[in-house]
Amino acid sequence: MTKSGAARGAGGFVNPEHWSYSLRMVPCEEVRRQYLAAMGIQLWERRVPPGIAAAATERNRAQSTSDADAASAGPGPAADPVTVGEMDWQRLAAAVGACTRCGLHLGRNRTVFGTGDIHARWMFVGEAPGAEEDRQGEPFVGRAGQLLNGMLFALGLSREDVYIANVLKCRPPDNRDPQPDEVEQCEPYLLRQVDLIRPKLIVALGRHAAHSLLRTDLALGKLRGQQLEYHGIPLIVTYHPAYLLRNPADKRKAWEDLRLASRLMGAVP
Ligand code: SF4
């Protein structure tokens, strides 16, 4: 079997076992399109014209810069949740960068605000930054980020097409689980991001993200496979890429979740 044949899954989609392989096979947009076309994968059209998306990406870069600037200026006044609900992107990024609302600010190197298209239809939400995210100030980098990129690729998406954020904007020490009071303090920032983006679908990545967003302690298995809701936005739950790296056999279940997400978005019959 050829490599491309091996990477092809049922229905012509990228086999989830080859998500990371797929990522390495994408040197440019044209090759990516040829690769997907050869596999019979339907490409989705961008909802936002490239010019606008590029402008949005540029704005996001500016926000990241303001975030970094604010962070380097050291802790600032705590942001009031009511005020957070009225902030524009620039003020929101600055507020996160200067936030001291919970104890996690003491151990962070950088806040991790979020990245992607601020007009995205898809929003992916994880639990909190890890060590590499804390160093780089961007969510889902490192191996877990590469796997997420592969999952996006399998959906015909890239990081620039979606918006990626975490519930917590600062890294918990030793990657421990987020604490309820930290979620309570930090969630207004995520909620404002959701309100500004108004995505068509949120994908909660992992048990902790799902529990934080849905205010439940149900097992992940009971949350998967159905349409849920976060502040009026449809939400589905799937595995965190870091979990999938440790448990590759569950990639197929994650792919089922992503296909459900695609159906909800009307992209797959
Ligand atoms: S985790 Fe959130 S609430 Fe806590 S300091 Fe960081 S930005 Fe502020």
Q: Could you give the CA distance from residue 105 to residue 108 in angstroms, rounded to a whole number?
A: 5
User: Which residues are within 8 A (CB) of 187 and not within 5 positions of it... i.e. 6 or more apart?
Assistant: 167, 212
Question: What is the overall mean pLDDT for the chain?
Answer: 79
Shortest-distance Cα residue to atom 4 of ligand 1: 102
Q: Could you give the CA distance from residue 140 to residue 259 in angstroms, rounded to a whole number?
A: 21
Q: Ligand 1 center to residue 1 CA distance, Å?
A: 50
Interior angle at CA 238, CA 236 and CA 243, nearest 5: 160
| pTM of the predicted protein model | 0.74
pLDDT along the chain (269 residues), means of 10: 41 54 43 42 38 38 42 45 85 97 97 97 97 96 95 94 98 94 97 97 97 95 96 97 96 95 77
For the chain, which domains are there?
49-264 (3.40.470.10)
Verify whether ligand 1 is closer than 6 Å to residue 70 (CB atom): no
The Cα-based distances of 149 to 141, 178, 195, 241 in angstroms read: 9, 24, 24, 10
Shortest-distance Cα residue to atom 1 of ligand 1: 170
Q: Ligand 1 center to residue 76 CA distance, Å?
A: 12
Q: Ligand 1 center to residue 200 CA distance, Å?
A: 26
Q: Could you give the CA distance from residue 10 to residue 1 in angstroms, rounded to a whole number?
A: 15
Verify whether ligand 1 is closer than 6 Å to residue 101 (CB atom): yes
